[in-house]
Amino acid sequence: MVLQGFDLEGQVIRPPAEAESILLQVTLGCSHNACAFCPAYKGKRFGFKAPARVAAALSAAAQDYPEVRRVFLCDGDALVMPQDRLEALLADIRQRLPRVTRIASYASAKALSFKTEAQLARLRELGLSTVYLGLESGSDAVLTAMNKWGDVAEHLRQAAKAKAAGLKLSVTVLLGLAGVDELAAQEHAQATGRALSAMDPEQAAALALMVVPGTPLYDRQQRGEFAPQNDAGLLRELYWLLEATNLTRGQFFSNHASNPLRLHLRLPREKAAGLEAVRAALAGEATLVPQAYRRL
């Protein structure tokens, strides 16, 4: 069962793992909303959704889906909300949906930087269990080129704070973000693997870059300033990334609809098998996902 939500305004994005979660929109858009590659919230002005609308949506969800055990807080930057509002929201979810056992949210490094470890621990006590952090790249040069908020060190600090507060961490990275130059692509992939290793999240997900009209990166491509990777380049990056990623115990995904090769691995146990799967794909010994089936 794939759930949607109630009173959703504009385009709403959720991670693949949240397909069976109630989508509760508490903010609109993203407080940064300037990453060169991201089309998600263009044209949507950032703001906090009116508490009365959130409460009405939550009441409707409780009436229609009283047995649902998962809630995902939208939009892209829910944790940037003031602490008192977040605490009240989580308490309200617990009261109206007492069967809920997991509440998750996107959590940018910027949003996390506004919270202390104690504040995050309090949110954990009230039911927030998992945060999705978009690292995108372990290369400061790539993050700067893509106008991402915060450098790699800042993302590592905020990830460590979230984990210390008891939150489960799911980190997203983006293959192809350095373009077609092989040396730059290799540095991007390997540096990203090293950053993931330092964060040691419970989950890591690699998406493949799709250059979307309306984004600054698309304009760069049109001017000849950026060239996206082909499938072979994306697979090479996936190999370098996985090779450099060492998690204590976690899951590694490339199962997003944008990926040419879908992997779901448990690390470190299945790392060698994952590398072999990528090698086979590079050698033409595995079938890739057709372009027609890839999307954001």
Residue 111 has pLDDT above 90, yes or no: yes
Please tell me the predicted confidence (pLDDT) of residue 73. Answer: 96
Q: How many CB atoms lie within 10 A of CB 182?
A: 13
Confidence of residue 10 (pLDDT cuts 50, 70, 90): confident
Please tell me the predicted confidence (pLDDT) of residue 16. Answer: 84
Residue 12 has pLDDT above 90, yes or no: no
- Which of 146 and 295 is assigned the larger pLDDT? 146
- Which of 43 and 274 is assigned the larger pLDDT? 274
Widest CA span in the chain: 56
Confidence of residue 259 (pLDDT cuts 50, 70, 90): confident
SS3 of 119-177: the string is HHHHHHHCCEEEEEEEEECCCHHHHHHCCCCCCHHHHHHHHHHHHHCCCEEEEEEEECC
Please tell me the predicted confidence (pLDDT) of residue 85. Answer: 96
C-alpha to C-alpha distance for 74 and 234, rounded to whole angstroms = 29
Asked if residues 245 and 252 have their Cβ atoms less than 8 Å apart, the reply is yes
User: Which among 142, 146, 141, 294 is positioned nearest to 231, based on CA atoms?
Assistant: 294
Confidence of residue 2 (pLDDT cuts 50, 70, 90): low
C-alpha to C-alpha distance for 27 and 90, rounded to whole angstroms = 14
Domains of the chain in sequence order: 16-293 (3.20.20.70)
Asked if residues 196 and 247 have their Cβ atoms less than 8 Å apart, the reply is yes
Residue 107 has pLDDT above 80, yes or no: yes
Please tell me the predicted confidence (pLDDT) of residue 110. Answer: 95
Prediction pTM value: 0.93
Percent over 90 (pLDDT), the chain: 83
Give the chain's mean pLDDT. 93
Asked if residues 23 and 14 have their Cβ atoms less than 8 Å apart, the reply is yes
* pLDDT tens readout for residues 24-35: 999 999 999 999
Out of 22-36, 38-52, 55-69, 147-161, least confident range? 38-52
Residue 97 has pLDDT above 70, yes or no: yes
For the segment 167-190, the average pLDDT, to the nearest whole number, is: 97
Residue 3 has pLDDT above 70, yes or no: no
